[in-house]
Chain A
Amino acid sequence: MSAISTYFKSIFHSLFTVLVGMKITGLHLFKRSVTIQYPNVKKPIPERARNRLYVNIDDCIGCLQCAAACPVDCITIETIKATPDVDLGMTSKNTKKRLYIAQFDIDCAKCCYCGLCTYPCPTECIVMTEVYEYSEYERKNLVYSFATMTPEDSIAARRRLQQYEAEQAAKKVHIQPKPTPPSGTDAAPATT
């Protein structure tokens, strides 16, 4: 007897549960969908979100602190000392710029978006922007160069620096006569 009653019970139970399930899906059918039509409609980015880096090169003083802070070494900076006769101007925070920035490359393929480079920057010129769609077909296109100097400019600046240093060295030689090297074996390693 119990087998028969479970048979009927199971049939009605299954029919009932099917209807319950269909009621739920039927209600969802007419619910507002949660999809955001992504390329056309974008979700607002949260405040202080970390995305692509940007460097305001006019404010950069070439202190290399960001490159030192970067845990994945994605920032490559090359600086050239400016000679005293050149005035590179001031940053927006009134710090005097003393270095040419010959190269300021950020490899965003390596960047891990930790934001550690932005904290030590004394002039706050390296920042995280809100740009997050910058896929490329070539990996080398992800290396962003922020330096504004042309190669010719940097060669010229380097030559001026060398010239200046040579002049300074010559002045030093003029003021302090070259000490006579002590005779003996000491001079031998210095010359090699």
Chain B
Amino acid sequence: MIETVQQFILALLANELVVAVILSVLPLVFVIIYTLVVLYTEMKVAAHIQDRVAYMMTGWHGILQPIADMIKLLLKEDIIPEKADRILFRVAPYVTFAGSYAAFAVLPFTSIYIGANIHLGAFFLIASGSIVVVGILMAGWSSNNKWSLLGGLRSAAQMVSYEIPTALALVIVAMITGSLNLQEITKFQDGGIHNWLIFGGPFPLKTKLLLLPFTLITFIILFVASIAEVNRTPFDLPEAESELVQGFFTEYSGLRFAMFYLSEYANLFVVSALSVSLFLGGWSSPFGSVLSGPVWGIFWFVSKAYVLVLLQIWVRWTLPRLRVDQLMYVSWKVLTPWLFVCLLAVGAILVSVE
């Protein structure tokens, strides 16, 4: 009985190693195409918010510009500073990208496709996000540049403190759904927009209304924390173009810089996909059984994540950067306590309902 993409490829090729290779390369293709699309979107949105029109010369409305940009980056000279720690400097971008890419293993793109159907999927996602911090810290330290070091340190402090709200939001979802597997969480919310966890989940109306405010707050907090996780404005202190000149990747150029770029956009998708599968029903159609199915599943999953990415881009070009102390204030004094309140309330509601 063939139920998943894995089984299909296995039946086709009858070799587990080949299946593993194919399944690990498949998201990479997606990441590269997706990065090009998001690069284009970001530049266009940024330009139109400022009443400009971004690139217009390459193709229709400059649609080929991201490809041209990538080719330019790959052709650039690869410079390693003389006094940099050469090994760490070379390894850092790949560690960063590996960290963001590992998360794709547990993202349920559709009902029949998930890279690794492990029980601690969401937890694995958070853990692989921490590898990104290691890579960024390596890059900042090995560059032997004070701005890079500052960027790396800020990044470590920020990502570590914002992992706590993310993990707590995860705990709340795990309490409601009883699983940490993103595929299971998505299946729990299947069956229409009213079943999504952001609107209280698939419960009787009374329980739903009780849960609704808390899940909504949790979603907003998760969204804020996810912006901070990917180092974007207003939480872009590690990069801080105007003060740290790109922070931890000041000294990078060429292919290594492109790796950081790719990692950043891959991460952007991962955090959006996490929010989508936790709160917005993942691959499930918003209209119940209409327009649902494995292929529509990919469409819904990617487009929901894309909407969240658009929202992040919109926020990025609206808000100014926070100060370091404000950043910590937001994480420790606002997001975390509110999540604890939500945690207690959701727990109490679930216990009283049973």
Q: How many residues of A contact B (CB 8 A)?
A: 17
Which of B3-11, B122-130, B135-143, B310-318 contacts the other chain?
B310-318
Q: Is A171 an interface residue (CB 8 A)?
A: no
A11-B334, A35-B53, A37-B56 known; A29 vs B45 contact (CB < 8 Å): yes
Residue numbers in B under 8 Å from A25 (CB-CB) = 49, 314, 317-318
Q: Which residue of B lies closest to A39 (CB)?
A: B57
Interface string of B297-331 (1 = CB under 8 A from A): 00000000000000000110111000000000000
A7 to B315 alpha-carbon distance, docked (Å): 23
A35 to B51 alpha-carbon distance, docked (Å): 8
A11-B334, A28-B48 known; A33 vs B318 contact (CB < 8 Å): no
Question: Which residues of A2-53 have CB atoms within 8 Å of chain B's CB atoms?
Answer: 7, 11, 18, 21-22, 24-26, 28-35, 37
Q: Which of A18, A28, A33 contacts B319 (CB 8 A)?
A: A18
Interface string of A130-155 (1 = CB under 8 A from B): 00000000000000000000000000
- Contact call A28/B51, Cβ cutoff below 8 A: yes
Residue numbers in A under 8 Å from B49 (CB-CB) = 25, 28-29
Q: Which of the four size classes fits the interface of chain B?
A: 10 to 19
Q: Is B209 an interface residue (CB 8 A)?
A: no
- Contact call A22/B314, Cβ cutoff below 8 A: yes
Residue numbers in B under 8 Å from A11 (CB-CB) = 334
A18 to B47 alpha-carbon distance, docked (Å): 20
Q: Which residue of A lies closest to B317 (CB)?
A: A25
A11-B334, A29-B45 known; A34 vs B314 contact (CB < 8 Å): no
A2 to B22 alpha-carbon distance, docked (Å): 60
- Contact call A22/B318, Cβ cutoff below 8 A: yes
Q: Is B289 an interface residue (CB 8 A)?
A: no
- Contact call A21/B51, Cβ cutoff below 8 A: no
* Residues in chain B within 8 A of chain A (CB atoms): 45, 47-53, 56, 314-315, 317-319, 333-334
Question: What 7 pairs between A and B have smallest CB-CB spacing?
Answer: A25-B318, A35-B53, A21-B318, A33-B53, A25-B49, A33-B51, A29-B48
Could you write out 27 A-B pairs with CB less than 8 Å apart?
A7-B333, A11-B334, A18-B315, A18-B319, A21-B318, A22-B315, A22-B318, A24-B318, A25-B49, A25-B317, A28-B48, A28-B49, A28-B50, A28-B51, A29-B45, A29-B48, A29-B49, A29-B314, A31-B48, A31-B51, A32-B51, A33-B51, A33-B52, A33-B53, A35-B51, A35-B52, A37-B56
